[in-house]
Chain A
């Protein structure tokens, strides 16, 4: 294939991701996006200018060599492209799907300055899927066993990444997971229609093939404390326990039946597969009207889940507006196409129940944007007397998560800040307890998959150094 010059490359329009029709997909839980075909991928790859000083690489938190892998795609070398990505990112099928690309790699792509950026995320996803479905997943050679053992608490992206890195360095790794399925938010939070669970499953299988031992149904701090694990022969530990504590609104009526935390609503659906009830045992409530509060990925996942349960009016209620929503842009567009009713500059004030104690409406108040707050975003302030009712028999609260206090509570030497996040020293991943490292949401508060993975990578390097110094 002849290589294109810059002008020719710039002429190619960004390729749209083939996807399920919105009216079809709101009746199923299958993945929205179909993925690029090989032809689409090659054509999209040809748009990349292969910049000598690529901005996109700096925009990616783990600095994937983007032009190189894209160039391999353009040459039709998909398996090689996947290998290239895996040099820096062990979970490309996941990141390609869930990274907020518009704020990271694609947000700074030079082509995006005038036109639309290269679809880096879609391409990353394409090669990862290609590798998986073409049976070409190679297990890299391991370094000789060091005889050292590391305990990892939590099997979210942070824990999975640190485990994968450490085991390849020759250390023995056991991952302890409280739930019955590994994956953290990837398993219980992000829905099937955005991240099919068999993709997560094959990533976990891959780790097992690398030799990582994954123990589910084990709550560190309860089943055994971290100190007990360390005494029983682990030489170091990594805590990636995430930000799993639901935040409620503290408004009247919150304990009515039909009011869910997003964690509960999504866990029932994704982890327990309540969308397959009664084939699966765990039930979930359905309603004609559903209100979801929040503006992040969690809120978006909850409201789109509700739509798929046959909800007539699925409202997303957010106290700011479209521009300020932290959710991924793609999800916001998908939600809009699916008929989600966005209600901006609005906040709930109380829930109203019926005689049986089930929620039937929510009273909301309108907001206006005032002066900017510490985050630089304009702060919403309630407009007096603007209260009104929205009918809904189900409500989901998705306004953020706190950090799970279990590990700090049961491991006194680990210090936390006032939000309950584990304190790490000097931008490293070491905690205040020697030999214990931490990363991901338990350190950052609610952040992203790729940042959690980045922490896992850094922690693996630091743990390796620590183990060698011991």
Chain B
């Protein structure tokens, strides 16, 4: 059993949850994730390790309420325990000195980009972060990103805070101003990652995305997380989750993410009726 030691809400739908997990805290690297099962009847869901403290033996997850499991998880409080927590899974991010790196986080994707961004900075890169959200209150980790970036650009789709527009607009702005990145890391909703990928392809800027397919075991055993990359089938949980954006079949990913829409809706409705 892994106990929640601290919890706070970063936005009305995003929680920061710190759990006791000594082994994982010690061995994790930026870009890796865990699989969580909230309770005994729960689904196994993947969540990125946003932060780890090896000395304290804790890891921090940043979770957006989407469906039943994330909603349930975000209702839990410090002192409670999750049924299962396993990791660290997936390949760590490839960190080295590239020169100028632009990391882009859309929505909760900022949480996933956060540890890798820090590692890029620590490797001596010039780091520019672009973080975006639909609206002001969904924006997370602005301060944290400022602490580890040379420059931070903030966007909101509705203009309720900072620049109005999409993260793609900001990246385009940088490129047109001759601030050409040597590497772009983009993490967020699939349409965002696709748009970034299309943009950087035209400028031939190497780009990495972190994919979020449906997962089950997270250890390469079931194949549900398969994605087509450069025409080859890859298992995101062991071969990824980070891949070369220009090789990713985003259509296939989008399609497979819709596999259980009907069931997910039912689960969430049942949870809500039970809460009432």
Nearest CB in chain B to that of A267: its residue? B222
The reply to whether B221 and A254 form a contact with Cβ atoms under 8 Å apart is: no
Question: Which among B23, B264, B270 has the greatest number of chain A C-beta atoms within 10 A?
Answer: B23
| Residues in chain B near residue A219, CB distance under 8 A | 86-87, 89, 219
Contact A222:B221 (CB < 8 A) given known A257-B258, A264-B216: no
| Residues in chain A near residue B258, CB distance under 8 A | 257, 356-357
The yes or no answer to A244 lying at the interface (CB within 8 A) is: yes
| Residues in chain B near residue A337, CB distance under 8 A | none
Closest Cβ–Cβ distance, residue A261 to chain B (whole Å): 4
| Residues in chain A near residue B267, CB distance under 8 A | 278, 281, 283
Category for how many chain A residues contact B: 35 or more
Nearest CB in chain B to that of A409: its residue? B238
Contact A223:B41 (CB < 8 A) given known A178-B219, A263-B222, A281-B68: no
The reply to whether A272 and B44 form a contact with Cβ atoms under 8 Å apart is: yes
The yes or no answer to A255 lying at the interface (CB within 8 A) is: yes
| Residues in chain B near residue A222, CB distance under 8 A | 27, 87-89, 219
| Residues in chain B near residue A416, CB distance under 8 A | none
- How many contacts A-B (CB < 8 Å)? 109
| Residues in chain A near residue B217, CB distance under 8 A | 178-179, 267
| Residues in chain A near residue B228, CB distance under 8 A | 255
The reply to whether B223 and A248 form a contact with Cβ atoms under 8 Å apart is: yes
The yes or no answer to B84 lying at the interface (CB within 8 A) is: yes
The reply to whether A246 and B223 form a contact with Cβ atoms under 8 Å apart is: yes
Contact A254:B233 (CB < 8 A) given known A179-B217, A267-B216, A283-B263: yes
Within 8 A of A (CB), among B66-92: 68-69, 83-89
Nearest CB in chain A to that of B224: its residue? A264
The reply to whether B37 and A180 form a contact with Cβ atoms under 8 Å apart is: yes
Contact A404:B233 (CB < 8 A) given known A281-B267, A283-B260: no
Category for how many chain B residues contact A: 35 or more
The reply to whether B222 and A272 form a contact with Cβ atoms under 8 Å apart is: no
The reply to whether B220 and A245 form a contact with Cβ atoms under 8 Å apart is: yes
The yes or no answer to B252 lying at the interface (CB within 8 A) is: yes
The reply to whether A404 and B27 form a contact with Cβ atoms under 8 Å apart is: no
CA distance A218 to B69 in the complex (A): 22
The reply to whether B23 and A248 form a contact with Cβ atoms under 8 Å apart is: no
CA distance A405 to B239 in the complex (A): 12
CA distance A130 to B94 in the complex (A): 57
CA distance A356 to B262 in the complex (A): 14
The reply to whether A217 and B222 form a contact with Cβ atoms under 8 Å apart is: no
The reply to whether A255 and B220 form a contact with Cβ atoms under 8 Å apart is: no
The reply to whether A223 and B220 form a contact with Cβ atoms under 8 Å apart is: no
Within 8 A of A (CB), among B200-238: 216-217, 219-224, 226, 228, 233, 238
Nearest CB in chain A to that of B45: its residue? A281
Question: Which among B87, B222, B267 has the greatest number of chain A C-beta atoms within 10 A?
Answer: B222
CA distance A327 to B252 in the complex (A): 34
CA distance A242 to B266 in the complex (A): 36
What per-residue 1/0 map shows which CB atoms of B25-38 lie under 8 Å from chain A?
00100000000010
Within 8 A of A (CB), among B149-168: none
Nearest CB in chain B to that of A179: its residue? B217
Interface of A is mostly: loop
| Residues in chain A near residue B220, CB distance under 8 A | 244-245, 404-406
What per-residue 1/0 map shows which CB atoms of A273-291 lie under 8 Å from chain B?
1000111111101000000
Contact A257:B255 (CB < 8 A) given known A267-B216, A267-B222, A404-B219: yes
Closest Cβ–Cβ distance, residue B262 to chain A (whole Å): 8
The yes or no answer to B99 lying at the interface (CB within 8 A) is: no
Closest Cβ–Cβ distance, residue A151 to chain B (whole Å): 14
The yes or no answer to B104 lying at the interface (CB within 8 A) is: no
Interface of B is mostly: mixed
A residues adjacent to B (C-beta < 8 A): 178-180, 216-219, 222-224, 244-246, 248, 254-258, 260-261, 263-264, 267-268, 272-273, 277-283, 285, 356-357, 404-406
The reply to whether A255 and B252 form a contact with Cβ atoms under 8 Å apart is: yes
| Residues in chain A near residue B233, CB distance under 8 A | 248, 254-255
The yes or no answer to B177 lying at the interface (CB within 8 A) is: no
13 example contacts (A-B, Cβ-Cβ < 8 A) are as follows A178-B217, A218-B23, A218-B86, A223-B27, A223-B88, A244-B219, A244-B221, A255-B252, A257-B256, A263-B221, A268-B216, A280-B41, A282-B43
The yes or no answer to B42 lying at the interface (CB within 8 A) is: yes
Closest Cβ–Cβ distance, residue A174 to chain B (whole Å): 13
Contact A283:B264 (CB < 8 A) given known A245-B220, A257-B258: yes
- Apart from A219-B87, A406-B238: 9 A-B pairs, beta carbons within 8 A: A217-B84, A218-B23, A218-B86, A257-B255, A261-B223, A273-B41, A356-B255, A404-B221, A405-B220
The yes or no answer to B143 lying at the interface (CB within 8 A) is: no
Closest Cβ–Cβ distance, residue B227 to chain A (whole Å): 8
| Residues in chain A near residue B88, CB distance under 8 A | 222-223
CA distance A180 to B41 in the complex (A): 12
The reply to whether A224 and B23 form a contact with Cβ atoms under 8 Å apart is: yes
Nearest CB in chain B to that of A257: its residue? B259
| Residues in chain B near residue A261, CB distance under 8 A | 222-224
CA distance A406 to B256 in the complex (A): 26
Nearest CB in chain B to that of A286: its residue? B263
Question: Which among B85, B223, B266 has the greatest number of chain A C-beta atoms within 10 A?
Answer: B223
| Residues in chain B near residue A245, CB distance under 8 A | 220-221
Closest Cβ–Cβ distance, residue B255 to chain A (whole Å): 4
